[in-house]
Structure 1
């Protein structure tokens, strides 16, 4: 079976605007606002890994290997979409936090996105160079810096929302609503188990 490209038209009601089509339209407009990487989504694609038959050494961790394989291919597609918007992976997470609450300190953003300090600092520097944010000293603590969206940064809200909707459509095209909710609940349980692993062993 031939796999349909991520930005190909999908069947549906006449005139319906599917998330993939909407993202494809928006990303062309966004490319004029933020410098675009020369690499395309198709150039960044990775071959899928078999999760039904993991390597022999992973037989004792089939679920963990399946999570790894899923995260790998999901991250690759998402990274290609972000590149088409002129963004580096992780920058969208910082922007999304600022869309909800502008003017957060760098420490607040660090806690919100769950990334390490050096990654967040590097991402913010790149975002400032791209004209997406500005950083100003906090009026109550001069050692801290507040991060504010620029007009260009605020304009990324619609493209990023469309990107997540398009990624959702790709990811769930063979799942019904019940399977989606079941997966979300299972993923949350696994995340909680890993996060609280030290507590469970005491």
Structure 2
């Protein structure tokens, strides 16, 4: 049985895909945020931890680029995570102005809880989809993301 379609405001006229993406992102982010709260993390911090779990000892600039968040958000998140004992930040040997981020044992211990959170989120997300539908969704989502990114990088954000 297909899921009911929510009321779509009349001002969406011609923007049904974009409105559906907004609704999906909101639902997904809300569910993820609830699971992150249970791990004493704020949304976005798991992305930073995942990057560091794959390659510890990155600079703040490298982390900023890899997660696609703005500088102030990353700085604030790293500060909170340092205060929570998940990581340390130290000046780089080659340039004392550059901060290098390292996980602590507590930060490294987040690998399994974060992996479990993503697995739970994935299972909930694809619960009512066939394997083919899930694969098609992933392809379509990346196609849309690429189309938007290409438009933004070309400097044509507005029509």
Q: Please, what is the CA RMSD of the aligned residues?
A: 1.6
Relative to the length of structure 1, the TM-score reads: 0.73
CA distance in 2, matches of 1:185, 1:158: 27
1:94-144 residue CA offsets vs partner (Å, 9 max, x unmatched): 000000000000000000000000000000000000000001110111110
Task: Give the 3-state SS of the residue equivalent to 1:60 in structure 2.
Answer: coil
After TM superposition, the structure 1 stretch with the greater mean CA deviation from structure 2, 113-122 or 189-198, is: 189-198
CA deviation after TM superposition for structure 1 residue 176, in Å:
1.1
Hey, what does 2:14 align to over in structure 1? 60
Aligned positions of 1:27-106 closer than 5 A: 51=5, 53-106=7-60
Equivalent residue in structure 1 for 2:76, among 115, 122, 125: 122
CA distance in 1, matches of 2:57, 2:147: 33
The number of equivalent residue pairs is: 153
CA distance in 2, matches of 1:103, 1:200: 33
Task: Give the 3-state SS of the residue equivalent to 2:14 in structure 1.
Answer: helix
Task: Give the 3-state SS of the residue equivalent to 2:102 in structure 1.
Answer: strand
CA distance in 2, matches of 1:187, 1:51: 19
Relative to the length of structure 2, the TM-score reads: 0.92
Gaps of 5+ in 1: 1-49
CA distance in 2, matches of 1:87, 1:131: 12
